[in-house]
Each structure stands twice: as C-alpha cells, then as structure tokens.
Chain A
Amino acid sequence: MKTVDFDVYKNMLYEKSGLVITTDKSYLLESRLAPVIKKWNIPDMVALTDKLRGIPDKQLVEDIVDAMTTNETMFFRDQKPFDKFRDLVVPAVLKAKGPNCTIRIWSAACSSGQEPYTLAITMKENAAKWAGIKFEILATDLSKEILDQAKAGKYSQFEVQRGMPIMMLVKYFTQTGDTWTIKDDIKQMVKFQNFNLLDPMDQFGTFDCIFCRNVLIYFDQPTKGKILDKMSKRLAKHGTLFLGGAETVLGITNSFKPLEGERGVYVHSDAPPPAK
C-alpha cells in the first residue's frame, strides 16, 4: 500500500477512535477490512481508499473503525484480576461504604462481553458471602456490532472453552448445538452501552472499580494520559483500576499509582497504603 493511501486510514482511525496504526501494521488493514469490502460490494482496497477521500459515508467509516478496533477476549481472561476483584476490591469497598452498599463496576472496553459476564458470574458464585450487596455492571465498547454480540450473549464452543470452567459452563449457559448462550439472569446483571473512550465520561457517575484491560495499548501516550485522567475522576477515592498485564500508568499520568505487589492493579495516587 502506498504511504498516501495508508495515511487516509491512519488519520481517519486516529480521529474517530484514537487508534494509532503504524506502517508495519499495514497488513492488518487488508486482512481486517476484507469483510467490509465484501459487505459494501467494493471491488478492492484501492476503490475503498478512493471512497474515503472527500466526504465518506458515515456508516462505511463506522464499519472500518469497528473492524480495526475489535480485539480478542476470553472468559476469566488471566483469572487473576477476577480473584483480586473478589479478595481485594470488594473488601475495600465494604470497608469504605458499609455492608449493604451498591458496588458499581465499569468494564470500559468490554468487546463481546466476556469480561462483564465473568464479573457477573463471580458475583453469583459468591452470592452467599456477598448477600446484601447490590452490584451494578456497566459495560461499554466503541463497536456497536460487537456490543450487539455481547448483548446476545452467544458464544461458540471454542470461545466458551477458552477460560470458562466446565462447572460454570453447565450452570450459567444453555446449549443449542455448537452455540452456548449465557442465561438471562446473568445477562440482566450487565448494562451495555456504546461509548468512545475519547468522549467525556461525566455521564457515568462514580465507580468503585474500573476494568480497562488491553485497550490502552492501541492509543498513543498523550491519548492514554487523557483517558486515564478522565477515568480517575470517575473512580471513587477507595476505588480500583485494572489495566492489562502489559500496560502501565508510569510516565503517562500522575492520577494513579500501582498497588504495591499487585500487578495490573492501580489506585488513586493520593490513596493511603492498604492496611496489611
């Protein structure tokens, strides 16, 4: 692909989603946009690029952003954050807000729903211990298409196998052939909403816990900083932020600091050290 053509995509994706693509990822354009070209009956990439010059169709632009920003996810991805949610976050919130509180959680780039559903299942599994606590899970993603998939709660055999323990699969899913659908009582625990992390976050109120894993890696440093600063205003004083294993706040923002000894877990920079 010619540099001038590549720049059309690069600029458009940055403007619409904050996604940064570098020339070494240009192969991704062709592979990920192939379904878009097919859907729109466009002969090839050259023709697609031409369509994007001038004033492109809004829906076409949205489809391209969707295709480029969708990333891989799985149930109980990494497992540890969900253990930490159970063992660190919930006790900290209970200490700050009392036993009959509402715990608000934001899954900030929920993709096809595995992360918020895993949280909902974690709550069900601990229902006896956490009786009296009300949980609210907000799950947002940039991509409307992936959100529809998340809301439907339908997964292939391959997807449910990646991470979902078999006892929980039997308990929380129904099966139709090779499709596994999450049960309604779990679905109803999650509220899905279309949201771009570049937009203002004031509408959401305050959360006790934010999961923002494996999404910041797609942004450049200044954009990461802006997103994290906005998130810090949406996180309660006692709140916890989860980032992906390969992500950090160091050198990006002063709003958060890592929680000592807990990889991927962050708290407000002025938060007192946790009681041992």
Chain B
Amino acid sequence: MKSCLVVDDSRVVRKVARRIIEDLGFSCEEAEDGVFAVAACQKAMPDAILLDWNMPNMSGIEFLEKLRTMPGGEQPKVVFCTTENDMSFIQRAIMAGANEYIMKPFDGEIVATKFSQIGLI
C-alpha cells in the first residue's frame, strides 16, 4: 500500500483530505505544520505528500525546500494544496520541486486526476 502524508494546520481539511486519499487506496498520516512533517519524513519517507502553504512554525514551501535536501527526500511526489492561487506562488513551488499544485477549494476528482497525472495511481 502506498503512503501519503497530509500536511495542513486545519483539522477539517486534513480530515477531508484523508478520506479522499484513503479512498484512492493510500495509507494516510497527518502533520499539522512543516516541523511535524519533517519529523514524520525522518521516521518514514511517504510516497506522496499533500501540502498546505500557510502554516505556523514552518510553512509548506520551507518544508518542501528542506525535504528535497533530506536523505531520500527527492522520492516523495509533492502536491501543494493551498488557497494561494497566484502564478508567482505556483512558479515558486515548481522551482522548489513540487510535482503538482491544487488550488483550494478542491474535491476528490481533482486530487485523483492530479495523483494519476504524476503517476501515483
């Protein structure tokens, strides 16, 4: 079973995302900011990461930049999932090594399409 880490400071969003991702056949872990996400990745590198941008302590983009320098950190497919919908944010995410980008609000179909296009399902 493939694994996915959902990183979002909103418990509601994590719950919605978890349900979608489990339906796609993934096991799911949650982290409430970038710091917790780093810890989770040090413990076990997931196959996929669904990543919010704005979070306390460590933002999504800071986390992604750190992740890509970690041992094995180039492996996970990272999909941003954020209310930040400006082209400049998207470009910055791609530069930092994001594989896909979802602009909130999102639904199961969007997540499934994006996961499929980057070869996760």
Binding site for B on A (CB under 8 A): 76, 79, 157, 161-163, 165-167, 169-170, 175, 178
Contact = CB atoms under 8 A, between A and B. Distances in A.
Contacts of B101: 166
Given A76-B117, A163-B113, A167-B94, 20 more contacts: A157-B103, A161-B102, A161-B103, A162-B109, A162-B110, A165-B100, A165-B117, A166-B90, A166-B98, A166-B100, A166-B101, A166-B114, A169-B90, A170-B87, A170-B90, A170-B91, A170-B94, A175-B86, A175-B87, A178-B85
B35 to A, nearest CB: 26
B110 A161 contact: yes
Given A161-B103, A161-B106, A175-B87, A166 B94 contact: yes
24 contacts: A76-B117, A79-B116, A79-B117, A157-B85, A161-B103, A161-B106, A161-B110, A162-B109, A162-B113, A163-B113, A165-B100, A165-B117, A166-B94, A166-B98, A166-B100, A166-B101, A166-B114, A167-B94, A169-B90, A170-B87, A170-B90, A170-B94, A175-B86, A175-B87
Nearest to B113: A163
Interface string B78-121: 00000001110011001000101111001001100110110000
Nearest to A176: B87
A177 to B, nearest CB: 9
Contacts of B116: 79
Contacts of B117: 76, 79, 165
A76 B90 CA distance: 20
Nearest to B116: A79
Which one of B90, B98, B116 has the greatest number of beta carbons of chain A within 10 Å? B90
Interface of B: 85-87, 90-91, 94, 98, 100-103, 106, 109-110, 113-114, 116-117
Q: Enumerate the 6 nearest inter-chain pairs by beta-carbon distance, A residue then B residue, closest first.
A: A166-B101, A175-B87, A161-B110, A166-B100, A165-B117, A157-B103
B79 to A, nearest CB: 9
A167 B109 CA distance: 19
A76 B101 CA distance: 16
A166 B77 CA distance: 14
A165 B100 CA distance: 7
A174 to B, nearest CB: 8
A79 B86 CA distance: 26
Nearest to B86: A175
A275 to B, nearest CB: 29
Contacts of B86: 175
Nearest to B85: A157
A167 B93 CA distance: 11
Nearest to A74: B113
A165 B114 CA distance: 7
A72 B98 CA distance: 29
A266 B114 CA distance: 28
Which one of A76, A162, A165, A166 has the greatest number of beta carbons of chain B within 10 Å? A166
A154 B53 CA distance: 26
A167 B90 CA distance: 9
A79 to B, nearest CB: 7
A76 B116 CA distance: 12
Contacts of A178: 85
A171 to B, nearest CB: 10
Contacts of A162: 109-110, 113
A169 B110 CA distance: 15
Contacts of B103: 157, 161
B13 to A, nearest CB: 16
B99 to A, nearest CB: 8
Contacts of B102: 161
